[in-house]
Structure 1
Amino acid sequence: MKSGTFDSPRPGAGAISWQLAQTFWVGGLWLLQFVMLPAITQRTGLAPLLVEDIASSLRPLMVGLAAACAALQAMVLVRSQGVTSLWKDLRGQILVAVSALAALYLLADGLLPGYWTLFSYMAIAVLGLMLVIQPIPGTGRDV
């Protein structure tokens, strides 16, 4: 008698890369904004301006990581579904939007710091959550 555990196909390298990249950038964005920065504020008692200075130095790094991971995910999607998936598939559209917002964030960070950068950061984070609920390309569960 065969076990149901061993009958399921193993995920390929693309699916594993997709999940790992997604964990890094989506989890990292949310962890920084909603766990690390509030914890620094409450636990250390630093002045709000010091916490904002820490945030302003860490957010561009997280956005850069998000852009790099989104590029990796776009390559996995293109390899699995073809180049047209970047425009026709919701996952591709989300990844293109994340890349555009990351580029605008990094451009605006030097020119227009303030609300625009925070908006871009949060929009990237929300798009990441939208991407999390999408099926992983290359697993046979694509719609």
Structure 2
Amino acid sequence: MGAGSISWLLAQTFWVGGLWLLHFVVLPGLEKMGLAPMLVDEAGAALRPLLVGFAGFCGVLQLAVLLQETGWRRLLADLRGQLLLTVLLGSLVFFAVREFLPQQQLLLMFSYLVLAFCGLLLILQPLPRGGRGRQRLG
């Protein structure tokens, strides 16, 4: 496994795992512990933007690794490229809605879940092998 594949796996593990862990484990766990619903909502409101920003950053990193393998021409034909571009778009939508339409909580949650499910679909795709699509110099 090359450095590209390793960085792909590491980034994917952190951002996809983080999104799923927060929404389906941490916040329900806080509710089950008996914390006030308003406190759980505040924790979610504080942590979700951090994880979405991290997902966007990791999506850019994964997109760079994928570009090394496929090049620009085949990026949109590859399902991994489509999913990563959807992740970047979902991150941008999340922050745009948060900035300009903060009362639209349903749209914020939809953007967050789009990221989570795109990450889940991305996990099912094969790893980039690094350098297969292009010849390396030297």
Give CA deviations for 1:38-78 in whole Å, capped at 9, x if unaligned. 111111x1111111111011000000000000000000000
Residues 28, 121 of structure 1: alpha-carbon distance in 2 compared, 3 angstrom cutoff: same
Alignment of structure 1 residues 95-134 onto 2, 5 Å: 95-113=84-102, 114-134=105-125
**Identical amino acids, percent of aligned pairs:** 49
Asked if the contact 1:77/1:85 (under 8 Å) is kept, the reply is no
Alignment of structure 1 residues 6-45 onto 2, 5 Å: 11-43=1-33, 45=34
Q: Distance in 1 between matches of 2:88 and 2:75?
A: 12
Q: Distance in 2 between matches of 1:84 and 1:51?
A: 45
Unaligned ranges ≥5, structure 2: 132-138
The Cα shift of 1:31 comes to: 0.3
Q: Distance in 2 between matches of 1:85 and 1:54?
A: 41
Matched, 1:77 2:69: no
Structure ranking higher on relative contact order (CA contacts 8 Å, 6+ apart): 2
One-letter identity of the residue aligned with 1:129: L
Rg: which structure is higher? 1
- CA RMSD between the two structures: 1.8
One-letter identity of the residue aligned with 1:135: P
Corresponding position of 1:53: 42
The Cα shift of 1:139 comes to: 6.6
Q: Distance in 2 between matches of 1:96 and 1:118?
A: 19
> Alignment length, in residue pairs?
131
Tell me the TM-score normalized by structure 2: 0.90
The Cα shift of 1:123 comes to: 0.8
Q: Distance in 1 between matches of 2:37 and 2:99?
A: 21
